[in-house]
Structure 1
Amino acid sequence: MPAKILIMPGSVRTGSYNVSLAQAANKVLAEMGAETTMISLGDYPLPLVDEDLKKDKGVPDNAIKLARQFAAHDGLFIASPEYNSSIPPLVKNALDWVSLAPKDIKAYSGLTVALGAASNGALGGIRGLYHLRSVLMNVGAQIVTEQAGISRAATAFGEDGLPTDERQRTLLEKTCRSLLDHLVEGRGRA
């Protein structure tokens, strides 16, 4: 049975480099035999995390739907922008709401996550992945060591949707392979 991987770009911006990275990861993971599902956080609009709102109205339905998406998959690939060397608000807010979903959903328990970032900068957005890794480990997800940073992202992706730079393409492939290997070796949900 193939591993089920959820792919989540951390941007909803038109022309987002991280949507391009997510699409590239989707292609690579599918070619490696995974069953993939790509979502947009734009389909799960959420208010800012607010404990008073949670107390008065409960966890928003979209947070519960997103948590169920996490729980229905063996692994998760997040392609996240970097904002001021950290996590963008859209991603952080979504991850925080998912952590507040009812515990019986088990959104993070046993979930294996791979990280990538795409940016026009020379570092490819990887500075923000350190913070993202920390947040995900804190809520119980398992994070693979490899990560894909795509620099000069405005011109990084070819007609086939994959990075044209061999080193960046290899990084993406190694990150995807590590995610699947982690699941096959029995350290995740699969």
Structure 2
Amino acid sequence: MTNTHHLLILVGSSRRGSLNRQLAENVASIASAQGLRTTLPDIRALDIPIMDQDLEATEGIPAGARQLRQVLEDADALIVCSPEYNGFPTPLLKNALDWMSRPDGDIAGLDAFRGKPALALSASPGALGGLRSLALTRQLLDNLGMLVMPEKLSVGSAGKAFNADGSLANERQQHTLSQAISTLTDRLRRLQS
């Protein structure tokens, strides 16, 4: 039986050659092979301004943030792939989540997040692979009301971590990633039934 669950994958880095974009594309490939649908937007292309309540009061929620929130509302789960900046989640990721969580007319912003499974992953050129920020990313997702999965993966020395096909060169890491997505899929099935 084909699984029709839908994953939103957010990448906390938008630079050309982003290691976390590579990780996210690997996630999408694994998810697709497991029968899941994925959406992998480019947050920077959505032109979401820095969170500013004065701007919110005068202009409302930016269209890009509304678009992301709608995708999250339609999705069954969220996967975040983000590097760390000084041990913290990136401003790009945090800003998008902040805007997405804002109330908007009759929409309670947190409703899009509440009760949905989430998985946090990271990749970085450094030895720890963004590990320091994973706990904070997980805490942020939990604060938004998500069911944060215990599985996680940080890919260190990520500039050399990917094969030409986009998979992780380290077979153990590739297996861990595949298993994390399988566990997420199982959680979605249990929540559905």
Shorter chain as denominator, the TM-score bin is over 0.9
Matched, 1:100 2:91: no
Structure 2 counterparts to residues 79-94 of structure 1, below 5 A = 79-94=81-96
Partner of 1:134: 139
- Would the aligned equivalents of 1:81 and 1:88 in 2 still touch at CA under 8 Å? yes
Q: Among residues 5, 8, 13, which one is paired with 2:7 in the alignment?
A: 5
**2:176 aligned with 1:174:** no
What letter corresponds to residue 13 of structure 2 in structure 1? S
Q: Which of 28, 31, 36 is matched with 2:30 structurally?
A: 28
Q: Distance in 1 between matches of 2:177 and 2:69?
A: 25
Please state if 1:112 is matched with 2:149. no
Q: Deviations over 1:100-131 (max 9, x none)?
A: 04335632122211111001111111211111
Distance 2:154 2:49 in 1: 29
Q: Secondary structure at the match of 1:115?
A: strand
- Structure 2 partner of 1:57: 59
Q: Is residue 12–residue 89 contact of structure 2 (8 Å, CA) maintained in 1?
A: no
5+ long unaligned stretches in structure 2: none
Partners of 1:179 and 1:167 in 2: CA distance: 18
C-alpha separation between the residues in 2 aligned to 1:104 and 1:90? Answer: 22
Q: Give the SS at the match of 1:8.
A: strand
Q: TM-score, normalised by structure 1?
A: 0.93
**Closer, same or farther in 2 for the Cα pair 1:104/1:119, shift >3 Å?**
same
Q: What is the deviation of 1:50?
A: 1.0
Q: Distance in 2 between matches of 1:180 and 1:101?
A: 29
In structure 1, C-alpha distance between the alignment counterparts of 2:146 and 2:124, rounded to whole Å: 25
Give the Å deviation of 1:168.
Answer: 1.3
Alpha carbon RMSD of aligned pairs, Å? 1.5
TM superposition score normalised by structure 2 = 0.92
Letter in 1 for 2:117: T
Whether 1:150 and 2:152 are equivalent positions in the alignment is no
Corresponding residue of 2:75: 73
Deviation by residue 1:142-182 (Cα, 9 ceiling, x = unmatched): 11110121111001000121101012112211221121111
CA–CA distance in structure 2, aligned partners of residues 174 and 121 of structure 1? 24
> Please, which moves more after superposition, 16-25 or 123-132?
123-132
Equivalent pair of 2:10/2:41 in contact (CA under 8 Å) = yes
Q: CA deviation at 1:132?
A: 0.9
Within the candidate set 26, 40, 43, 1:41 is matched to 43
Q: Which runs of 5+ in 1 are unaligned?
A: none
Give the conservation status (yes or no) of the 8 Å contact 1:117–1:150: yes
Asked if the contact 2:138–2:148 (Cα under 8 Å) also holds between the matched residues in 1, the reply is yes
- Percent identity, aligned pairs only, is 35
